[in-house]
Structure 1
């Protein structure tokens, strides 16, 4: 028998759920604004050919190009890092392997988050390139060549999304003593990718900055969506320092006809 107290309790619960949903919507809009506004401002400056930014781009390209011309060994190192170690194909393949491992662990939604973040980052980057149609630097005696348009840097954006995926997924498995060094390696790699692209003369500095900002925007929005799902599933929010899904440290469930995903 359903009593009035039960009905009132259900209505109160729905109101609390609605308030939480509204709060998540507002917070999501705030996250989108905080991460997207810097990129939007940069895009306006690039499209408007703002002189201080053009001067910064030109000076950085010319000075680093001179160093590359006079130091062949340095240039070969840049090529190795940019075209092999931090190449977008290499990073996307690593994300694909991570996604397969998550599927094996039956962490379905975390695997979906990793895949969607990586794919969305790549497609959004290509779309913005096609819209902006910015030409790459035209330097005398170039030491490297790259096809397509320049803004934003695909290398910088892929590095940002990929290393964010690695860290946010794998943090629960990393001992606390090693987390700061791992974050340092991730940040160094993202910054290093951008530097190699400017030093090789295939991107302007603002291209790289745009790739970083756009990559952060994509990660912030998809991570927020994942956190919203955790709230709806009753798992609660966790600090970024613990990764997106701390439950990943639990043993993978046994496969079987009645197996369900952890936490459901």
Structure 2
């Protein structure tokens, strides 16, 4: 087999730690979903953080929130995904390109499927709010970029873990703030979306690596027979 194998999107030093974090995040998503199932009012935690209203944030910060929210809307999200995929292909990271689409896509699909199961609404107008798809998507994409950066830089376990969690926290906090500020979600909806990304992306990255390694092994086994 010629050429170098493509680098893993889930760096080996992070597999155990992110596996544990993913499991805990999934537990949080389920727990919050059960606690707020069928609710249409903010919970105690939501009131403690901030209860979203139509004028939770006024200009100029409202414009900042609207600009941030755009990147979770279909047009903005598609732009980010295309840019990330293009960057991966330019850097010759085919697994990364697959993870960008798979990680972000699976996170959005997961939040979409959970919403009718949880049945939580906001403002009593029937809009399903748990978990936040905007927060989930933005966090997922940031997680993918952080994972690829950690692998490309060859960071050790501690540095890589710190980078991935810091990027996820900043991205989730930014989009989560925008969602609460614009009265689109409660704080616990945002937390659910953030944890959904933390649960889905590592699992998707593991599947991408397993699938790519399997295909590479099959190609390597078939190569000698093809030369005969």
TM-score (normalised: structure 1): 0.59
Residue 75 of structure 1 corresponds to which residue in structure 2? 62
Measured after TM superposition, the shift of residue 205 of structure 1 is 0.9
Residue 124 of structure 1 corresponds to which residue in structure 2? 110
Residue 12 of structure 1 corresponds to which residue in structure 2? none
Residue 99 of structure 1 corresponds to which residue in structure 2? 85
Measured after TM superposition, the shift of residue 172 of structure 1 is 4.5
Residue 193 of structure 1 corresponds to which residue in structure 2? 175
Measured after TM superposition, the shift of residue 153 of structure 1 is 0.6
**1:152–1:81 CA distance, 2 compared to 1 (3 A):** same
Distance 1:209 1:218 in 2: 14
Distance 2:23 2:163 in 1: 30
Question: Is the Cα–Cα contact under 8 Å of residues 68 and 178 in structure 2 kept in the other structure?
Answer: yes
Distance 1:113 1:232 in 2: 16
1:40 aligns with 2:22: no
> 1:219-258 CA deviation, whole Å, 9 max, x = no partner?
12112224445776899xxxxxxxxxxxxxxxxxxxxxx9
Question: Is the Cα–Cα contact under 8 Å of residues 103 and 111 in structure 1 kept in the other structure?
Answer: yes
Distance 1:203 1:63 in 2: 7
Paired residues, what number?
198
Question: Is the Cα–Cα contact under 8 Å of residues 152 and 207 in structure 1 kept in the other structure?
Answer: yes
- Of structures 1 and 2, the one with the larger relative CO (CA 8 A, separation 6+) is 2
Distance 1:154 1:204 in 2: 12
Measured after TM superposition, the shift of residue 130 of structure 1 is 2.7
TM-score (normalised: structure 2): 0.67
1:57 aligns with 2:46: yes
Q: SS of the residue aligned with 2:200?
A: helix
1:136 aligns with 2:122: yes
> 1:40-95 CA deviation, whole Å, 9 max, x = no partner?
1111111175x9x7122245443776652xx4323233222223x56564244222
Measured after TM superposition, the shift of residue 194 of structure 1 is 0.4
1:207 aligns with 2:189: yes
Question: Is the Cα–Cα contact under 8 Å of residues 125 and 157 in structure 1 kept in the other structure?
Answer: yes
**1:92–1:166 CA distance, 2 compared to 1 (3 A):** farther
Question: Is the Cα–Cα contact under 8 Å of residues 47 and 132 in structure 1 kept in the other structure?
Answer: yes
Task: Flag the structure with larger Rg.
Answer: 1
Question: Is the Cα–Cα contact under 8 Å of residues 61 and 201 in structure 1 kept in the other structure?
Answer: no
1:168 aligns with 2:172: no
